[in-house]
Amino acid sequence: MTERVFLIILDSFGCGELPDAAEFGDSGSNTLRAAASSKFFCADNLARLGLFNIEGNQDIRPPHPSPVAAFGRAAQASAGKDTIIGHWEICGVISPRPLPLYPNGFPEELLCEISRAAGVGGWLCNLPYSGTEAIRDYGEEHIMTGLPIVYTSADSVFQVAAHEEHFGLERLYSYCETARKILTGEHGVGRVIARPFAGENRDTFYRTANRHDYSLEPPGETLLDKVKRAGLDVISVGKIYDIFAGRSISESHPTKSNADGMAKTAEIAKRRDWRGLCFVNLVDFDMLWGHRNDIDGYAKGVAEFDSWLGGFLGLLGERDALIVTADHGCDPSTPSTDHSREYVPVMCYGKQVLPRDLGTLADFTYIGKLAGELLGVV
């Protein structure tokens, strides 16, 4: 039996439009193809796992003659294309309704309720906004008035920016905790996000590393719950802890970058004091390059991961397995900076895993089931 499974999410690394992509405004999206168009793209180790043997990918690079992993692609059954829903579906929870979006900002009565409960006299902005532009455009007014900057995006998020010194970091967290308690039911956004910043004027403001996400709890049993119930460890790396609201996670390792996440994952692999699931999210693909339409940046990120992957495979023992996949797409070559409705690649490697073509899988839940079967918990 497999003792340890490393489940690594390359956040937004989709590999081609789903049949219903047009309904989401995503016709023609293919994040992998976009990244591969850059001269900086390199994916030799991912190719060994079968990335370019996957249906729909075979013309991007030549298929590998003898892939060492089980490989395929998974469609999404949930009604959405965001991080929360993607991760939940991977772990067994299909969401029949999309999480709420606020393209025109949040209802005033809702913000009034949050303000009263938090003891704050109002808010600034309340529009879909870039986070860096929000603090540039509203930061000075925020310092003068003491009012938090509330904004959203194409995702189901309620984001709050506040100055670490002038407003206070703990006060920002408290405000977001209050908002999370209120934002339920029809207004149950996927995440409330605290976005602290520092600096003294619009030319010097910068976001700090003290971001904190407050997520909805998954509405059903997940892979993480099953692994914990079996008495095994659930170790999270990156924003996995936030995505699952900390539920069933025994050890959490926040990260500041893909490089930090990969380094922490390698250190966890070297340890022999645990058995179970190490669940990793590498967010830079999405946050830094997909949403900013940075094709070369995305390609460099793939090349950096691929180089690291070559060494990581050598850390895996006889009873270890690795699954590499994604949670949605975010094609950096399209006019949109939003997530894209795409298939995700699925590659599973281990000494006890038979290399084979998995074909096209009906939904993401196969990925979590595969991890659970390897660990003997499903």
Q: What is the pLDDT of residue 98?
A: 86
How many angstroms separate the first and last alpha carbons of the chain? 13
Q: CA dist 321 to 54, 92, 291, 346, 378, Å?
A: 19, 19, 31, 13, 16
Q: What is the pLDDT of residue 298?
A: 98
pLDDT of residue 191 exceeding 80, the answer is yes
State the Cα–Cα distance between residues 150 and 131, nearest whole angstrom.
Answer: 10
pLDDT 10s digits, 341-363 = 999 999 999 999 999 999 999 99
Confidence of residue 208 (pLDDT cuts 50, 70, 90): very high
pLDDT of residue 370 exceeding 80, the answer is yes
Q: What is the pLDDT of residue 63?
A: 98
Confidence of residue 325 (pLDDT cuts 50, 70, 90): very high
Q: What is the pLDDT of residue 235?
A: 98
The mean pLDDT value for 5-22 works out to: 98
Contact 195, 159 (CB under 8 A): yes
Q: What is the pLDDT of residue 1?
A: 81
pLDDT of residue 154 exceeding 80, the answer is no
Q: What is the pLDDT of residue 149?
A: 98
Average pLDDT, the chain: 96
37, HSE (Cβ side, Cα atoms, 13 Å): 11
State the Cα–Cα distance between residues 287 and 83, nearest whole angstrom.
Answer: 11
Q: What is the pLDDT of residue 209?
A: 87
pLDDT of residue 150 exceeding 90, the answer is yes
State the Cα–Cα distance between residues 44 and 36, nearest whole angstrom.
Answer: 12
Confidence of residue 153 (pLDDT cuts 50, 70, 90): confident
State the Cα–Cα distance between residues 20 and 15, nearest whole angstrom.
Answer: 14
Helical segments of the chain, H only: 31-36, 44-49, 83-90, 108-118, 131-145, 169-182, 223-229, 240-243, 258-270, 284, 295-313, 365-375
Model's pTM, two decimal places?
0.89
Tokens of 95: 């969401």
Tokens of 330: 């975010």
Contact 360, 75 (CB under 8 A): yes
Q: Starting from the edge strand earliest in sequence, which strands make up the sheet with 320-325, in order? A: 251-253, 233-237, 276-282, 4-10, 320-325, 344-350, 70-74, 357-361
pLDDT 10s digits, 260-309 = 999 999 999 999 999 999 999 999 999 999 999 999 999 999 999 999 99
Confidence of residue 41 (pLDDT cuts 50, 70, 90): very high
Q: What is the pLDDT of residue 321?
A: 98
**Helix axes 258-270 and 295-313, enclosed angle (nearest 10):** 10
State the Cα–Cα distance between residues 275 and 295, nearest whole angstrom.
Answer: 38
pLDDT 10s digits, 43-93 = 999 999 999 999 999 999 999 999 999 999 999 999 989 899 999 999 999
pLDDT of residue 184 exceeding 80, the answer is yes
Q: What is the pLDDT of residue 215?
A: 87
State the Cα–Cα distance between residues 128 and 157, nearest whole angstrom.
Answer: 10
Q: What domains can be seen in the chain, in order of their start residue?
A: 4-97+217-375 (3.40.720.10), 108-215 (3.30.70.1250)
DSSP states of 231-290 as a string? T-EEEEESTHHHHTTTTT-SEEE--SSHHHHHHHHHHHHH--S--EEEEEEE-HIIIIII
Q: What is the pLDDT of residue 155?
A: 81
State the Cα–Cα distance between residues 323 and 232, nearest whole angstrom.
Answer: 18
Q: What percentage of the chain carries pLDDT values higher than 70?
A: 100
